[in-house]
Chains A and B, each alone.
Chain A
Amino acid sequence: MTRILLENVSAEHKSGANLIDVSMLVEDGEYVAVLGPTGSGPSELLKVIAGLLPVTTGKIFLDEKDVSDLPPEDRHIGMVFEQFNLFPHLSVMDNLLYGPRMRRSDIEKKKKIAAEIINMVRLNGREDAISRELSGGMQQRVGIARALVADSQLLLLDQPYRALDAKIRAEMRLEVRNIVKGIGISCLHSTHETEEAMLVADKIAIFNAGRLQQIGTPEEVFNFPNTEFVASFLAESNIWDIEIKDNVIILDNTLNIKYNADLFPEDKYSRMVLRQHSIDLFSEKDQIPNDWNGFHGKITRVRLLGEFIRITVNVEGKEFIIRELLNPDLRDPLLLVDKELWVGFPVDEVKLF
């Protein structure tokens, strides 16, 4: 178990993806998801902590020890990559024991630990299987098991499920979180996917253009985003330029939108973010709760997304995009086009920046 502290860390990756002045703390045993678009910093952050990318300025502490200039092999960190990086011709057990053998560790002792971890990652009975013959999900579990057998103080998962099919990815996410939490090892997990981050993490650190934007529990960052970027990256959103007059938002000089002035007390806001899932559809105006915003509109487009449906409603020339969880009431979603109805959303769902 390890506490990780980064103080004003900057780094430059040859791809042009940088880290800029990152300061953050990961407590003992915490599972932190590092989230952001491609090249915005999550993978670079993990590489810097692992020692695979040098810091240009700033310091990294594992517990109280400054490891900023230590080589990767002296940091006792287990790293799992997107591409598994197993020895394809070796068995599961030999992959797990490769590192300890190189380091001339006590192999008999390590075999016992490996057997326990194989059990934990549900690969029992597969100890002698050649790793290239395993499915992608199993190979990734071998990668995680290998990192754990190596006595790592800290586990870094760099986009660990990206190469896996969606269904296997969905199964692995909570499974691996439970293993990691069961061991109690601190873990940083980089990803570009909001749902993955929300599902696995105790805390989420959100990056944009190399800078840490916000860090907090999934509930905190989702409900109280501190920038427009965080608000819109965590959930698909309607984003509009606005004016505010007398505590009312004026959108395109036509729509007056109520908001919670206690949450946004200043008068300097110029942008509004309204998450697509926060908007509900109503067939009658009087179904909309009194303290909500409500507008009459017409459906112009419906797009099926699998477990979600996206509906575009034209309200006095302005497009409201709505994301609905697939439900039995939407059995013929494509027939909704041209239907007139009401859109409504709570004032607390209006976020201003």
Chain B
Amino acid sequence: MPKIDFLNVSKQFGRIVAVKDLNFTIEDGEYLSFLGPSGCGKTTTLRLLSGLILPTKGKILWDGKPIQDLPPDLRDIGYVFQQFAIFPHMNLYENVAYPLEVRGFSTIDVEETVEEYLKLVGLENKAHLFPRDVGAADLQRTGVARVLARGAKVLLLDEPYGALDFKVREEFQDEMRRIVKELKLTAIHVTHDQSEAMAISDRVAIMKKGSMIQLASPTELLFNPSQIFSAHFVGEANFLEGIVSEKNHEYILVETVDGWNFKVTRSFESFLIGDRVIMGFRKGFAKVLTNNQEKVLNIIKGDVLSDRYLGEKRRTKIHLEFGRSIEIMQLPHEPVLAKGDAITIEILPENILLFRYPARGLEDALEVT
């Protein structure tokens, strides 16, 4: 159960900067996920920790001791890949036993250890089967058992469920978290699937273009993201540009470029009158107002561009003035709106996220690749 620190770690491949200035700590026994689009640097970070590649600069500490120059076999790390890496000519038992035999374990020790870990992953009755006779989930379980049997203290999981069907994937996520917590391991998991990261992790690191954007708990990321990209990448949100027009002890007022005025009551303290800001709100947090509800603050008016019924929800796209559009998600019960229908939505002050206007503009802050 080591604690791991990344101190100013960067990795360049030629002129391409894969990750830059990573500074973070993975706590003892923590289940941490790296989440981000393709090419964001999440797998590179995992490979730096495993020792498969070395950093261009910076330090990686394992319980305070630098390990950045150690070869992979001297780090107590187990790597679980999407592609299983199972020997096809060995049965499941032999696959788990192999690394122990290579390391010179006694026959009794091998037997005891293999049985213990096959049981842990629920394969005790399938030990005699060959890889061709079992499904993808059991192949991955075998891979996990083999890594654990070797005595790994830190588990690195690189898109480990990518090859599994949806239902199996979810069972496996729960199982993996149970194992990690039961054995008090530290786990670092790479995924591009936000629901997977949300469901299994103690904390999630959001990555973009080689940088860590935010490291926070799943609920923090969903309800209180500190960065525009986190709010955009985790869940779904709309963003509008505005200026702080008024401030007191209880709230600030933001006037958007379309002329709508919003009272904001959360995390507004550091903003000043005249500040250029981005106002965000979750797509599911907007409320459609009926005609008789006349309000002035915290509303947006527009025309329906499209309203698609999706069974468990509806996606309604709304055209605003100046050619902009936003999208909201609604429960499916209300009648579907027609294109061109006038619509008014309300966003309550406590549901508005406020961000400083990004140095390179909103489009750049939201860019996924």
Contact = CB atoms under 8 A, between A and B. Distances in A.
Contacts of B313: 277, 325
Contact of A304 (B192, B198, B315): B198
Contact of A306 (B195, B232, B308): B195
A307 B284 contact: yes
B129 interface: no
A229 B219 CA distance: 33
A7 B30 CA distance: 57
Contact of A167 (B232, B283, B309, B312): B232
Interface of B: 37-38, 165, 192-195, 198-199, 218-219, 222-223, 232-236, 282-285, 306, 308-313, 315, 317, 329, 331, 348, 350-351, 368-369
A270 interface: no
Contacts of B306: 174
A303 interface: yes
A333 B220 CA distance: 11
A218 B311 contact: yes
A195 B310 contact: yes
11 contacts: A137-B369, A168-B369, A198-B309, A218-B309, A222-B311, A304-B222, A305-B199, A306-B234, A307-B284, A325-B284, A328-B285
Contact of B311 (A137, A167, A234, A332): A234
Interface string A249-280: 00000000000000000000000000101000
B37 A306 contact: no
A304 B199 contact: yes
Interface string A120-143: 000000000000000111000000
A170 B315 CA distance: 12
A308 B198 CA distance: 10
Contacts of B331: 325
A275 B183 CA distance: 36
A334 B219 contact: yes
A323 B312 contact: yes
Interface of A: 37-38, 135-137, 165-168, 170, 174, 194-195, 198-199, 218-219, 222, 234-235, 275, 277, 303-308, 323, 325-328, 331-334
Given A328-B348, A328-B351, A331-B223, A219 B309 contact: yes
Nearest to B333: A346
B100 to A, nearest CB: 35
Contacts of A137: 369
A333 B193 CA distance: 20
Secondary structure of the B contact surface, majority rule: mixed
Contacts of B232: 167
A165 B235 contact: no
A294 to B, nearest CB: 18
Contacts of B193: 166
Contacts of A195: 310
Nearest to A197: B310
A199 B310 contact: yes
B235 A307 contact: yes
**Residue among A135, A222, A234, A326 with max Cβ neighbours from chain B (10 Å):** A326
A307 B308 contact: no
Nearest to A331: B223
Contacts of A194: 311
A325 to B, nearest CB: 5
Given A194-B311, A325-B313, A167 B37 contact: yes
A180 B331 CA distance: 28
Nearest to B332: A277
Contact of A198 (B194, B310, B329, B351): B310
Contact of B369 (A165, A170, A308, A332): A165
B40 to A, nearest CB: 9
Nearest to A305: B195
Given A37-B165, A168-B368, A199-B308, 19 more contacts: A135-B369, A165-B38, A165-B368, A165-B369, A167-B37, A168-B369, A198-B308, A218-B309, A222-B309, A235-B312, A277-B311, A304-B199, A304-B218, A305-B198, A306-B195, A325-B329, A325-B331, A326-B284, A332-B219
A307 B236 contact: yes
Contacts of B192: 165-166
A334 B219 CA distance: 8
A66 B199 CA distance: 50
